[in-house]
Amino acid sequence: MRPPALLSAAVAALAVGAAVAVAAGPASAAAGCRVDYRVTNEWQGGFGAAVSVTNLGDPLPSWSLTFTFGAGQTVTQLWNGTVTQSGSQVTVRNAPYNGTVGTGSAVSFGFNGSHTGANPAPASFALNGTTCTGNVGEPSTPPSTPPSTPPSTPPSGGPVRVMALGDSITGSPGCWRALLWQQLQRSGHTNVDFVGTLPAQGCGFPYDGENEGHGGILATNVADQNQLPPWLSATRPDVVMMHFGTNDVWNNRSPATILAAFGKLVDQMRASKPTMKILVAQIIPMTPANCAACTQRVVDLNQAIPGWAAAKTTAASPITVVDQFTGFDTAVDTGDGVHPDASGDQKMADRWYPALVSAIG
């Protein structure tokens, strides 16, 4: 694994952390915490953020993180938790499936927000009422290695470098990547390096978690704004796994527009490495409460992907379509109709595994 590269000015990072001494209390009381807050993407009037909370105290059966926005920002959508906001005061509580946080373990959530001008990071956070203290600001060096990052050195001979590219389904926390990495290790495919400019988030066990899963991002915007080439230059992947298009569908981009963006991204991948192997997902279904039409839009996009891939694939740089849609049930495999829960993560890992093993050789 390589240290993650810092992102451009569009990405801010905040690391807040220190053990906090508190009076003795219930066994579930947090005695210390660290919060990693990262703005992963910004657009006119809006932004995406990823938050990782590490519990440094006693194990927690449930959690609540509170913070205050300093410039009138508003959370518009959040995953892997539930949110309430009163003025500038924000409270995020655990989802039904991620309440337990052991000592030294981390839990993550992501959100999209709106702002009217400046977008500073919150100055402080509190976990179950205990302030997570530390310095505020963008670090001049990459954030310290989180507990989920493996300490091992890649095997000699040069590992196959694999980039997972997408949105919050891939990166916030995107624990299907952790399960996929675990499957590769257990089956003897150890000469693999997951790469990206974003660090791992906590998934309950050590794994190689660098990725390009940017919360709230659209494939069409990444293509239009030429955001991918710097990520490719910084990480030099041999294989790209792409689960992209959910936010495009949500914003009513047509399949033709999305696939045109996919085509540009593939061209940029091949400019980085002419023999790039590319895995493109037929994306998981979505049933968000605020987008009844999204269910059919996903179907329409997925139906168009195989034909696009067949026209775009080459012998030197093959495109493999991976069906992440079939058998995925949003009622069982997501917590919010969009983002995979534990069973959804397992299904996604299982679908990626054979295609990735074939790609890495």
Q: pLDDT 10s per residue in the chain (361 long)? A: 543 333 333 333 444 443 332 333 333 344 688 888 888 777 778 888 878 888 888 888 999 999 999 999 999 888 778 899 999 999 999 987 778 888 877 777 878 889 988 899 999 999 998 898 743 323 333 434 343 433 333 333 579 999 999 999 999 899 999 999 999 999 999 889 999 999 888 898 889 999 999 999 999 999 999 999 999 999 999 999 999 999 999 999 999 999 999 999 999 999 999 999 999 999 999 999 999 999 999 999 999 999 999 999 999 999 999 999 999 999 999 999 999 999 999 999 999 999 999 999 8
Q: Tokens representing 26?
A: 């219930």
Determine the pLDDT at residue 25. 33
Tallying the residues shown for the chain, one arrives at 361
Cβ-contact 336, 79 below 8 angstroms: yes
Q: Which amino acid is at 275?
A: T
Determine the pLDDT at residue 262. 98
Burial class (CB in 10 A: 0-12, 13-18, 19+), 157: exposed
Q: Tokens representing 258?
A: 């999305």
Determine the pLDDT at residue 31. 64
Determine the pLDDT at residue 43. 77
Cβ-contact 351, 343 below 8 angstroms: no
Domain boundaries 160-360, corresponding CATH code: 3.40.50.1110
Q: Any idea where the domains of the chain sit in the sequence? A: 12-132, 160-360
Determine the pLDDT at residue 100. 84
The span from the CA of 212 to the CA of 214, in Å, is 6
Cβ-contact 155, 190 below 8 angstroms: yes
Block residue for tokens 């034909």: 307
Q: What is the DSSP letter of 148?
A: T
Classify strands 89-93 and 64-68 as parallel, antiparallel or unpaired: antiparallel
Cβ-contact 97, 56 below 8 angstroms: no
Cβ-contact 169, 222 below 8 angstroms: no
Domain boundaries 12-132, corresponding CATH code: 2.60.40.290
Q: Tokens representing 82?
A: 């539930």
Q: Give the pTM.
A: 0.64
Q: What is the DSSP letter of 128?
A: T
| Element spanning 255, H or E | helix 255-272
Determine the pLDDT at residue 106. 76
Cβ-contact 320, 280 below 8 angstroms: yes
Q: Measuring CA to CA, which residue among 212, 228, 231 is closest to residue 220?
A: 228
The span from the CA of 83 to the CA of 85, in Å, is 7
DSSP class per residue in 27-83: TT---EEEEEEEEEEEETTEEEEEEEEEE-SS-BSS-EEEEE-SS--EEEEEESSEE
Radius of gyration in angstroms for the set of CA atoms belonging to the chain, rounded to a whole number: 20
Cα-flanking dihedrals φ and ψ of residue 268, to 5°? -70, -35
Q: Which residues of 182-195 are buried (b: 16+ CB within 10 A; e: fewer)?
A: bbbeeeebeebbbb
